[in-house]
A and B are shown apart, each in its own frame.
Chain A
Amino acid sequence: MNDLAIPDFGREIAALLPFLIVAGGGLLVMVTDALVKTLRKDHLSYLVLLVLLSVIVVQTTSGTPEGPVLNGLLLLGNFSRFFTYLFVVIGVLTTIFATGIFDRDGNYRPEFYPLLLFAILGMMVLAAANDLLTVYLGLETMSLATYVLAGGVRGNAPSSEAGFKYLMLGGFSSAFFLMGVAFVYGACGGTGFDQIAAALHSGSAPMPFLTLGTGLMLVGFGFKVAMVPFHMWTPDVYDGAPAYVTGFMATAIKAAGFAILLRFVLLTEPMLAFAWYPVLTVLAVLTMSLGNIVALVQGNIKRMLAWSSIAHAGYLLLGIVAILAPALGGPEMMARAKGIVEEGGAALLFYLVGYALMNLAAFGIINVMGTEPGVDGDQISRYAGLSRRQPVAAATLAVAMLSLAGIPPMVGFMAKFYIFSVVVKAGLIPLAIIGVINSLISVYYYLRVIVVMYMHDTAEDSYQGTEWVSVAAAGLLAFLIIYLGVMPEAFHRGAEIVFRQISF
Chain B
Amino acid sequence: MFERFIPVLLVLGVAGAFSGVFLAISFLLGPRRPDALKDSTYECGIPARGSIQIRFFVRFFLVALFFLLFDLEAVFLYPWVVLYKGLLASGAGGFALTEMGVFLLVLLTGFLYVWKKGGLEWQ
Contact = CB atoms under 8 A, between A and B. Distances in A.
Direct contact of A and B (CB under 8 A): yes
Interface of A: 1-2, 4, 6, 9, 27, 30-31, 33-35, 206
B113 A6 contact: no
B113 A2 contact: no
Interface in B88-106: 90-92, 95, 106
9 contacts: A1-B86, A2-B90, A6-B91, A6-B95, A27-B106, A34-B112, A34-B115, A34-B117, A35-B112
Contacts of A27: 106, 109
Given A1-B83, A34-B117, A206-B1, A6 B109 contact: no
Contacts of B32: none
Nearest 8 CB-CB pairings of A with B: A34-B116, A6-B92, A34-B113, A27-B109, A30-B113, A2-B90, A2-B86, A206-B1
A9 B91 CA distance: 13
Interface of B: 1, 83, 86-87, 90-92, 95, 106, 109, 112-113, 115-117
Contacts of B109: 27, 30-31
B109 to A, nearest CB: 5
Contacts of B1: 206
Nearest to A27: B109
Nearest to B1: A206
A206 B117 CA distance: 52
Contacts of B87: 2
Given A6-B91, A9-B95, A31-B109, 11 more contacts: A1-B83, A1-B86, A2-B90, A27-B106, A30-B109, A31-B112, A31-B113, A33-B113, A34-B112, A34-B113, A34-B115
Contacts of B117: 34
A6 B88 CA distance: 12
Nearest to B82: A1
Contacts of B112: 31, 34-35
What is the interface of chain A mostly: helix, strand, loop, or mixed?
helix
Contacts of A31: 109, 112-113
Nearest to B115: A34
Contacts of A1: 83, 86
A286 B14 CA distance: 46
Most A CB contacts (10 A, CB to CB) among B91, B113, B115 go to: B113
B57 to A, nearest CB: 17
A450 B78 CA distance: 61
A33 B83 CA distance: 37
B113 to A, nearest CB: 5
A4 B91 CA distance: 12
A254 B42 CA distance: 50
Contact of B90 (A6, A9, A34, A206): A6
A120 to B, nearest CB: 17
A27 B92 CA distance: 27
Contacts of B83: 1
A1 B87 CA distance: 10
A6 B93 CA distance: 10
A112 to B, nearest CB: 14
Contacts of B92: 4, 6
Nearest to A23: B106
A30 B1 CA distance: 51
A322 B83 CA distance: 48
Nearest to B91: A6
A2 B92 CA distance: 10
A184 to B, nearest CB: 16
Given A6-B91, A6-B95, A9-B95, A35 B116 contact: yes
B39 to A, nearest CB: 34
A1 B86 CA distance: 8
Contacts of A2: 86-87, 90
Contacts of A6: 90-92, 95
Contacts of B115: 34
A139 B14 CA distance: 39
Contacts of B91: 6
A35 B114 CA distance: 11
A6 B115 CA distance: 37
A31 B86 CA distance: 35
Nearest to A111: B117
A1 B96 CA distance: 14
A118 to B, nearest CB: 11
Contacts of B86: 1-2
B111 to A, nearest CB: 10
Nearest to A37: B116
B4 to A, nearest CB: 11
Nearest to B89: A2
